[in-house]
Amino acid sequence: MPDQLRARSLPLYQRRLPDADNTYPLPIETPHLELLASQSLVLDDVVSTCPVCTPYRAMLQTGRHPQTTGHIINSTRTRWSEIGLADAFGRSGYRTGYVGKWHLHTGAWPANNVPDWVPEGRDRLGWQSWRGYNQHMVYFDGYVNGDDWNADRWSGYETRGLQAYTRAFLDEHQASHADDPFFLFLSPQPPHDSPFTMAPEEAYAGLPEIEAVSLPANVPEGVDRTRVKKAYRDYMAMILMVDEMVGSVLSDLERRGLTDDTLVVFTSDHGTMGGSHGRGFWEKKQPQEESIQVPFMVRFPDGRHGGERRSVLTSPVDLFPSLCGLCGVGVPRTVEGHDLSGAWCGASDALQQEGVLLMNFSEAFDHYRNGNEWRGVRTRDHCYARYLDGREVLYGLRDDPLQMENLAEYRRHADLKSSLAAMMGSLMAERGDELQPCVNYRDWVDTQRRVVRNAYGPLPDPEQLPDWSLCGA
């Protein structure tokens, strides 16, 4: 799961846009991801419903919404009582391992780009083997921590260096736990931006020079196009490194004889605006597709569903129960998402969602700062959002996939807007949610940034252990 990889910056998704070569030019090829897609079930409507790192990652790891976990901004600490994805699989006999970025703790915050740590125990939500870091953007010779707070440095670029830890996990698994199933989570930070060198020189070799980079049609003329083009070039270089990493991981599974017995999932936590709609290149936290649509593919060990593609509206909280459904693992009763594995696999009578709730809480990434508060709803055909200041946006995703025309401005779409607003309100009510200034959430964390309150009120001791009777296994 690379960070900040929007779906439409992969050829697999970009070429489905109308007149893509002219409206959304993309001068890269991703052969390893293309190969994986040809062997996988590909989903088109997987949505990052709170498109920023910590809120998304909390949803994936717990199957619960931000209004419940309390993770509405970055760098807040997860409650020990949360039952995580690794808990469910671990209690079902899986050997679990985590490698790469975590971002569900404070780590070394507010310091950044230094060795940080996620303490052993419940702060890791059940992951047994650990070579992770909370959050930094040191891509060359960066840091992970293991069984204690001491840092280890990978060698070279992150997408290559992290693979030493995945290979070590698989070596140990095959040597000592070969009869047990495993669940390995690999989470590189690229193609997220960095204040340092973003990719190796060889990743730029086949890319156009900055002035020759073509931008999507929804990047307006008023932006600093040279700056956006430079960032886009860095972004594409990092995507190429992610593609190389995918190829290496798949080759390693093949070499070990694990391909025919391993489910492979590829996705990301959110996208990036890339200059579209006048937003900064690295900006997210917006209701446009550049920010919220993420790639998603699943390769089954027996070749089932290879080459199939479906539109199944899926949110981050649905990934936990759906992966459990695919693997026959019990779903904890704490999970708020839906098991969509049947719909993913094409079952005609399987559960499908009409819409999912979109949200952003803060102007800032790591602070409770007023501004950019909005809620919205995404269906397969439309996206609607309302900002705290009263602005509204409404897009028809099939007729206007670049979201160039705001339908909320036209009276003829008043009924559609009203219907989507009502759906949004209903989804908010289910979560006990209210669109309000961000500073109102400051009491959701204590002085150590541990979650002590959520939308339903005060919570008990943040270091209280889970109620294991709620676990599905």
Q: Quick one: average pLDDT of 179-187?
A: 97
CB 47 within 8 A of CB 419: no
The CA-atom distances, in angstroms, between 12 and each of 17, 28, 31, 238, 264 are: 10, 11, 10, 17, 17
The CA-atom distances, in angstroms, between 207 and each of 33, 66, 215, 227, 238 are: 18, 39, 14, 16, 11
pLDDT of residue 149: 77
Q: In this structure, is residue 167 part of a structural domain?
A: yes
Q: In this structure, is residue 459 part of a structural domain?
A: no
Query: Last residue of some domain: 338, 354, 370?
Result: 354
Q: Quick one: average pLDDT of 193-219?
A: 97
Query: Last residue of some domain: 322, 354, 386?
Result: 354
pLDDT of residue 302: 87
Q: What is the mean pLDDT of the chain?
A: 97
Q: Does one domain contain both 342 and 368?
A: no
pLDDT of residue 146: 86
What confidence tier does 150 reach under pLDDT thresholds 50, 70, 90? Answer: confident
Q: In this structure, is residue 456 part of a structural domain?
A: no
Q: Does one domain contain both 326 and 388?
A: no
Q: Does one domain contain both 290 and 411?
A: no
d(CA 154, CA 143): 6
Q: Does one domain contain both 385 and 321?
A: no
Q: Which CATH number characterizes residue 395's domain?
A: 3.30.1120.10
- Extract the tokens encoding 99: 């490698």
Q: In this structure, is residue 275 part of a structural domain?
A: yes
Asked whether the predicted pLDDT for residue 409 surpasses 80, the reply is yes
Q: Does one domain contain both 160 and 218?
A: yes
For the chain, the three-class secondary structure string (H helix, E strand, C coil) is: CCCCCCHHHCHHHHCCCCCHHHHCCCCCCCHHHHHHHHCCEEECCEECCCCCHHHHHHHHHHCCCHHHHCCCCCCCECCCCCCCHHHHHHCCCCEEEEEEECCCCCCCCCCCCCCCCCCCCHHHCCCCEEEEECCCCCCECCEEECCCCCEEECCCEHHHHCHHHHHHHHHHHHHHCCCCCEEEEEECCCCCCCCCCCCCHHHHCCCCCHHHCCCCCCCCCCCCHHHHHHHHHHHHHHHHHHHHHHHHHHHHHHHCCCHHHCCEEEECCCCCCCCHHHCCCCCCCCCCHHHHECCEEEECCCCCCCCCEECCCECHHHHHHHHHHHHCCCCCCCCCCCCCHHHHCCCCCCCCCCCEEEEECCCCCCCCCCCCCEEEEECCCEEEEEECCCCEEEEECCCCCCCCCCHHHCHHHHHHHHHHHHHHHHHHHHCCCCCCCHHHHHHHECCCCEECEECCEECCCCCCCCCHHHCCC
Asked whether the predicted pLDDT for residue 448 surpasses 80, the reply is yes
In sequence order, what are the residues at sequence separation of 6 or more whose Cβ sits closer than 8 angstroms to the Cβ of residue 350? 340, 342, 343
Q: Does one domain contain both 130 and 246?
A: yes
CA dihedral 345, 350, 351, 353 (to 10 degrees): 60
Total number of domains constituting the chain: 2
Q: Say what percent of the chain tops pLDDT 70.
A: 100
Q: Does one domain contain both 320 and 407?
A: no
Asked whether the predicted pLDDT for residue 306 surpasses 90, the reply is yes
What confidence tier does 316 reach under pLDDT thresholds 50, 70, 90? Answer: very high
Asked whether the predicted pLDDT for residue 371 surpasses 70, the reply is yes
pLDDT of residue 453: 98
pLDDT of residue 472: 63
Q: Which CATH number characterizes residue 164's domain?
A: 3.40.720.10
What confidence tier does 186 reach under pLDDT thresholds 50, 70, 90? Answer: very high
Q: Does one domain contain both 33 and 165?
A: yes
Q: In this structure, is residue 348 part of a structural domain?
A: yes
Q: In this structure, is residue 394 part of a structural domain?
A: yes
Q: Does one domain contain both 288 and 206?
A: yes
pTM above 0.85, yes or no: yes
Q: Does one domain contain both 226 and 299?
A: yes
Q: Does one domain contain both 263 and 397?
A: no
Query: Last residue of some domain: 354, 385, 403?
Result: 354
How far does CA 121 lie from the centroid of its chain? 24
Domain that holds residue 431: 357-442
Express each pLDDT in 97-111 by its tens digit.
Answer: 999 999 999 999 998
Q: Does one domain contain both 71 and 202?
A: yes
Q: In this structure, is residue 298 part of a structural domain?
A: yes
